[in-house]
Structure 1
Amino acid sequence: MSAAAYDQIADWYEQDFLRGQDAETSEGNPRSLGGLLGDLLGTGSGTCLEIGCGTGVHAAALRDLGWTPVGVDLSRGMLGHARSRLPVAQADAARLPVSDGSVTAAVAVMVHTDMPHYPAVLREAARVLRPGGVFVHIGVHPCFCGAFADRTDPDAIVVRPGYLDGAWTKASWTDQGVRDKVGATHLPLPGLLHAFLDAGLALEQFAEHGTPTPIVMAVTARKRG
């Protein structure tokens, strides 16, 4: 993820993208998740590390579930909005400033396409989790969202060649989202799921969200004891 890119759009992201009239349905909008975070993470206590916390929009939901949220993000501009919502640190998600085995839970919400080395991020998540700790990934659906997917007509998503390529791009079907401004990295579904296994995370639960074609795919995984 380019810190400079998100620094430049941080105010727009907080004031317009997160709060726009289509926030509940827009592709990639962290508010368009239904009840996924609660369903997959569940209630608990202790520290929940949000990797790529952005402006901290999920902090309240994590507290409502009983967790104590702490966030890390690469963008100073995004963290400027997050600081009033949760404790934060500026850091690369692939090199977390967190001790081994020190957190009970971790989440990454709508950020994996911003992280060109997401398999390394998953390895870091596994490193900082306690044995048996839970990790929740919620991200844009790798099969139906990307430069290869034209979502102009929500009732008829057109998937063109490019799904298998796995590349960074700013190409987008809309100029109202994030991808055309900061770009996104695509991982085909097998590569994404194998990255969890390679990190030492046991897959437990899956979910999709969005109709008639899912926008979001989510995974619950647990650090092997």
Structure 2
Amino acid sequence: MKASYDEIADWYENEFLASSRIGDPIGIDRCLRALLGQGSGICLEIGCGTGVHADLVRSLGWSPVGVDLSAGMLGYANGRLPIVQGAAERLPIASGTVPAVISVMVHTDMPGYPAVLREAARVLRPDGVLVHVGVHPCFCGGFADRTDPAAVVIKPGYVDGHWTKASWTTRGLRNRVGSSHWPLPDLLGAFLRAGLTLEAFTEGGTPVPAVLAVKARRASRDRPHQSSR
């Protein structure tokens, strides 16, 4: 299966990352470090792309492993962490085997993200942790104009839930590969419907957050999971 990122893998690795990660400007690394924390064992990254988060995960004591649909992106990830090519909605991982899962800046690339969360819950061990770091649903999307970094302009469209290539900039990802959007209640509800217990939150980017991060946990065998009802 050809992935949309195959066509932009070289640009993503050599141009986009080089200009967007200097100094952790929107707090992606800070959010991941704060919510994942120190640990040990396998940390599976869903949508690992070129593997840019592997060193941070490793610095926290975890052993990073990545899965991604894009062969082009995995070509760069190879050597940075163990990798497997596969769809996030059908992870090639046995149930109940992984102590930690991360999803970093990819949920808008996955129209089936609620199914991805269900898969993450399936592969997690009881009490295993999931950390989601994603674009902020309230302040990023086809409805948000971030031309002025001091004052985001929100236009109609937030509540619709949609896929779009509309973007305020031609230097980002959305105008190249498109982006899916879930309003905040839909996004958080998807965690609950996957059988995950919401545990902690943080935001990144100033003065208007560009990132929302969520820490959730799979229920232990002897404790019922949180219900969305």
Per the TM superposition, whether the score is higher than 0.5 is yes
What is the correspondence of 1:63-82 to structure 2 with a 5 Å cutoff? 63-82=58-77
| 1:136 Cα deviation from its structure 2 partner | 0.1
Pair 1:23 & 2:18 matched: no
Say whether the 8 Å CA contact 2:29–2:56 is kept in structure 1: no
Q: CA RMSD in A?
A: 1.5
Q: 1:74 to 1:197 in 2, by over 3 A?
A: same
Residue 102 of structure 1 aligns with which residue? 97
Pair 1:217 & 2:212 matched: yes
Runs of 4+ with >3 A deviation: 22-26
Q: Where in structure 2 are there 5+ consecutive unaligned residues?
A: 221-229
Residue 11 of structure 2 aligns with which residue? 12
TM-score (norm 2): 0.93
Counterpart-to-counterpart distance in 1, 2:28 and 2:187 = 19
Counterpart-to-counterpart distance in 2, 1:43 and 1:60 = 13
Residue 139 of structure 1 aligns with which residue? 134
Pair 1:180 & 2:175 matched: yes
| 1:24 Cα deviation from its structure 2 partner | 4.2
Residue 196 of structure 1 aligns with which residue? 191
Residue 225 of structure 2 aligns with which residue? none
Counterpart-to-counterpart distance in 2, 1:87 and 1:25 = 26
Say whether the 8 Å CA contact 1:24–1:32 is kept in structure 2: no
Pair 1:46 & 2:41 matched: yes
Q: Deviations over 1:44-78 (max 9, x none)?
A: 00000000000000000000000000000000000
Say whether the 8 Å CA contact 1:34–1:209 is kept in structure 2: no
Pair 1:35 & 2:30 matched: yes
Residue 161 of structure 1 aligns with which residue? 156
Q: Where in structure 1 are there 5+ consecutive unaligned residues?
A: none
How much identity, in percent, do the aligned residues show? 64
| 1:36 Cα deviation from its structure 2 partner | 1.1
Which letter maps to 2:13?
E
Say whether the 8 Å CA contact 2:88–2:116 is kept in structure 1: yes
Number of residue pairs the alignment of both structures matches: 220
